[in-house]
């Protein structure tokens, strides 16, 4: 079962909560997608009868033992030998596969445009995932074996897990065992202190571990719905530890979890906080420049910040590192993007404004149902049918420790999506200026992940064409969303891709890929060399964090990451 747990960890780690157009999906978008399927069913009865007849023929073959339908060898749900050798289970799998085959053949024949077809396929897959026989005790041979081997204890434990989720997890199946983790004790343990605090954020400075440090400091801007300690989960995969061990003066913003009363916090407020944090970092270190790194929606925030600084003529920004971040989205980038509609986003905005915030639990629930096979049904099987605890995995613990999203900020993120603001030059106003990335001249480092389905790498590559930077480096990590970032040295499977020849990047991702070389190992040392070249001379490390004007306060990771809302 250990191997299965590792698979659960890896799959869920690629599906973390992330801000983007998906926060604008309203329940009406799901209803309209189902209505589309029903409408097409009724529009051509002869077509429906033809597919029903074909499915009936498959059913007859199954009943007479003549069906050759077999699960995809890569489908982990049907790995147990019973699906192949037990007539009852083999037939059960074949009935499911016949329905799946019939549904997909029918969808293929529907007269829909690309967006409608994507929408229909997405909804159909959610329905089909829910119908899988493996989701039930009667239809899951592994669960039945576990029941017998445990003398019925697996069923009792499964019922206990289901009860606990109903009472303590708002009815959602748990993806992580939170019990082993304690922030500041065995997770987020790098030494440092809060050196500045406002109502909206804490600024944490981490203690140097080298005798000398680079003069230009590094500031990380995290996403607003994820807590900042993703940068410091454990010593083995801590970005913060990697930075301080390599002589970077490291600062991280820790956003406060907004309550209903703070639902008015918008992008302008967050950008004002970022500007203030830059000034504090500059004053503490004495550096006129500050390098900035950010991931996912934090990267969108950092891009608005870079645009604002350029518009106001403030040259404090040194370099900009953007990880797994999409600035030029297209509706076909991700499967669920087909559900997003103008009316749905309008309704989502109105509902959020009424509540003040979108609760973290509601965000997590919504994301889970967009990938139900990986984030719901696999855990139903593990936790309820097999009676096992969910994995105790630091990335999943962090993901479950999400924060609320203020209604105003959600509206601003949807505006960025709707207007394609980053692709325009001075047309869209936000954060008290008109966004224009062509005015941003800072050296740029952009990271994508090969198997990232939240921010697909080809979508992240489009950002290379948006800035006015002369020096743009693009790196493609071999993994998915968060694992693309948390890919430290020492992983024998790690690899990344970079352009063979130095110079201007090609226009498209496909052209870039043709001119790349594969490099074994983590991309962290490559980035470190890149950033050190742009971090100034070495100077003696400070004796302590902070300064007279900004004295050290609470130990890292601060108060806001543990504050209950």
Q: Which of 2-16, 290-304, 466-480 has the lowest mean pLDDT?
A: 2-16
Q: Quickly state the pLDDT bin for 290 (edges 50, 70, 90).
A: very high
Q: What integer pLDDT is reported at residue 9 of this predicted model?
A: 53
Q: What integer pLDDT is reported at residue 439 of this predicted model?
A: 97
Backbone angles phi, psi at 259, to 5 degrees: -95, 180
SS3 541: coil
Of the CA atoms within 13 Å of residue 375, those in its CB half-sphere come to 20
Ordered by start, the domain boundaries in the chain are 23-147
% of residues, the chain, pLDDT over 70: 92
Of 301, 176, 185, residue with least CA distance to 233: 185
Distance CA 321, CA 72 (A): 40
Quote the mean pLDDT of the chain: 89
Q: Is the pLDDT of residue 455 over 50?
A: yes
For 512-534, the pLDDT digits (tens) are 999 999 999 999 999 999 999 99
Q: Which of 76-80, 221-225, 347-351, 524-528 has the lowest mean pLDDT?
A: 347-351
Q: What integer pLDDT is reported at residue 1 of this predicted model?
A: 41
Q: Quickly state the pLDDT bin for 362 (edges 50, 70, 90).
A: confident
Q: What integer pLDDT is reported at residue 305 of this predicted model?
A: 98
Q: What integer pLDDT is reported at residue 291 of this predicted model?
A: 98
For 409-440, the pLDDT digits (tens) are 999 998 998 899 999 999 999 999 999 999 99
Distance CA 112, CA 127 (A): 19
Q: At 154, list the tokens.
A: 């697996």
Q: What integer pLDDT is reported at residue 24 of this predicted model?
A: 58
Question: Which CA distances in Å does 90 have to 78, 80, 81, 381?
Answer: 10, 11, 10, 19
For 185-205, the pLDDT digits (tens) are 999 999 999 999 999 999 999
Question: Which are the catalytic amino acids?
Answer: 296
Q: What integer pLDDT is reported at residue 124 of this predicted model?
A: 85
Axis-axis angle for helices 45-63, 87-109 (nearest 10): 160
Other Cβ atoms within 10 Å of 291 Cβ, number: 26
- In contact, 264 and 410? CB cutoff 8 Å: no
Q: Quickly state the pLDDT bin for 2 (edges 50, 70, 90).
A: very low
For 253-284, the pLDDT digits (tens) are 999 999 999 999 999 999 999 999 999 999 99
What is the separation of C-alpha 96 from the centre of its chain, rounded to a whole number of angstroms? 31
Q: What integer pLDDT is reported at residue 26 of this predicted model?
A: 62
For 82-133, the pLDDT digits (tens) are 999 999 999 999 999 999 988 888 888 777 777 777 778 888 888 899 999 9
Distance CA 85, CA 334 (A): 37
Classify residue 542 by its DSSP letter: P
Of 293, 340, 303, 315, residue with least CA distance to 462: 303
Q: What integer pLDDT is reported at residue 114 of this predicted model?
A: 74
SS3 124: helix
For the residues 227-255, what does the mean pLDDT come to?
95
Distance CA 498, CA 29 (A): 39
Q: What integer pLDDT is reported at residue 83 of this predicted model?
A: 94
- In contact, 400 and 175? CB cutoff 8 Å: yes
- SS3 string of 334-378? CHHHHHCCHHHHHHHHHHHHHHCEECHHHHHHHHHHHCHHHHHHH
Q: What integer pLDDT is reported at residue 522 of this predicted model?
A: 95
For 24-70, the pLDDT digits (tens) are 566 666 677 777 677 766 666 777 788 778 888 889 999 988 999 99
Q: What integer pLDDT is reported at residue 108 of this predicted model?
A: 81
Higher-confidence residue of 349 and 211: namely 211
Distance CA 24, CA 414 (A): 7
Distance CA 374, CA 11 (A): 6
Higher-confidence residue of 187 and 5: namely 187
Q: Is the pLDDT of residue 6 over 80?
A: no
For 398-410, the pLDDT digits (tens) are 988 888 999 999 9
Give the global pTM: 0.89
Best mean pLDDT range from 77-91, 165-179, 341-355, 546-560: 546-560
Range list of β-strands (E), 450-485: 472-477
The number of helix segments (H) and strand segments (E) in the chain equals 21, 16
Bond prior to 557 in cis (omega within 30° of 0): yes
Of the CA atoms within 13 Å of residue 321, those in its CB half-sphere come to 24
For 331-340, the pLDDT digits (tens) are 777 766 667 7
Distance CA 537, CA 60 (A): 77
Higher-confidence residue of 501 and 230: namely 230
Q: At 168, list the tokens.
A: 């303590």
Q: Which of 8-12, 218-222, 361-365, 463-467 has the lowest mean pLDDT?
A: 8-12
Of 101, 561, 546, residue with least CA distance to 280: 546
For the residues 473-482, what does the mean pLDDT come to?
88
């Amino acid at each position: 079962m250990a191997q299965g747990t590792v698979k659960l960890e890896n799959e869920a780690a690629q599906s973390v909560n992330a801000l983007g157009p998906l926060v604008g999906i309203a329940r009406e978008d799901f209803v309209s997608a189902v209505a589309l399927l029903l409408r097409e069913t009724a529009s051509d009865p002869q077509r429906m009868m033809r597919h029903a007849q074909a499915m009936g023929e498959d059913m007859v073959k199954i009943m007479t033992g003549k069906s050759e339908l077999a699960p995809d060898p890569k489908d982990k749900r049907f790995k147990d030998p019973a699906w192949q050798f037990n007539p009852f289970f083999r037939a059960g799998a074949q009935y499911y596969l016949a329905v799946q085959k019939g549904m997909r053949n029918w969808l293929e024949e529907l007269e829909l445009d690309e967006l409608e077809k994507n929408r229909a396929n997405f909804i159909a897959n959610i329905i089909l995932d829910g119908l899988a026989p493996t989701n039930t005790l009667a239809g899951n041979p592994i669960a039945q074996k576990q029941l017998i081997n445990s003398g019925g204890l697996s069923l009792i434990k499964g019922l206990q897990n289901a009860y606990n989720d109903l009472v303590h997890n708002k009815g959602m199946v748990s993806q992580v065992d939170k019990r082993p983790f304690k922030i500041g004790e065995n997770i987020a343990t790098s030494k440092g202190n809060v050196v500045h605090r406002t109502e909206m954020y804490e600024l944490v400075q981490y203690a140097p571990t080298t005798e000398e440090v680079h003069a230009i400091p590094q500031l990380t801007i995290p996403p607003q719905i994820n807590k900042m300690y993703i940068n410091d989960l454990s010593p083995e995969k801590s970005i913060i530890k990697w930075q301080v061990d390599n002589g970077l003066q490291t600062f991280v913003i820790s956003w406060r979890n907004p309550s209903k009363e703070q639902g008015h916090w918008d992008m302008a407020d967050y950008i004002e906080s970022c500007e203030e944090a830059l000034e504090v970092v500059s004053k503490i270190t004495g550096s006129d420049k500050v390098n900035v790194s950010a991931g996912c929606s934090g990267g969108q925030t950092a891009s608005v910040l870079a645009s604002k600084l350029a518009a106001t003529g403030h040259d404090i920004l040194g370099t900009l590192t953007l990880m797994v971040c999409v600035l030029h989205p297209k509706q076909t980038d991700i499967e669920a993007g087909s559900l997003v509609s103008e009316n749905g986003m309008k309704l989502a905005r109105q509902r959020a404004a009424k509540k003040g915030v979108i609760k973290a639990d509601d965000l997590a629930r919504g994301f889970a149902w967009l990938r139900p096979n990986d984030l719901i049904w696999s855990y139903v099987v593990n936790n309820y049918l097999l009676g096992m605890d969910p994995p105790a995995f630091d990335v999943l613990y962090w993901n479950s420790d999400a924060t609320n999203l203020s209604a105003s900020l959600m509206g601003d993120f949807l505006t960025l999506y709707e207007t394609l603001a980053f692709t325009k030059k001075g047309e869209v106003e936000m954060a008290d200026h008109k966004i224009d990335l062509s005015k941003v001249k800072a050296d740029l480092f952009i990271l994508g992940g090969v198997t990232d389905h939240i921010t697909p790498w080809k979508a992240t590559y489009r950002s290379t064409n948006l800035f006015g930077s002369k020096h743009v480096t693009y790196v493609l990590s071999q993994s998915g969303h968060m694992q693309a970032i948390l890919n430290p040295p020492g992983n024998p499977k790690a690899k990344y891709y970079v352009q063979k020849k130095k110079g201007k990047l090609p226009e498209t991702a496909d052209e870039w890929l043709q001119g790349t070389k594969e490099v074994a190992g983590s991309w962290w040392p490559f980035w470190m060399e890149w950033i050190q070249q742009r971090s100034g001379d070495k100077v003696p490390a400070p004796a302590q964090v902070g300064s007279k004007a900004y004295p050290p306060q609470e130990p890292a990771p601060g108060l806001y990451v543990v504050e209950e809302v």
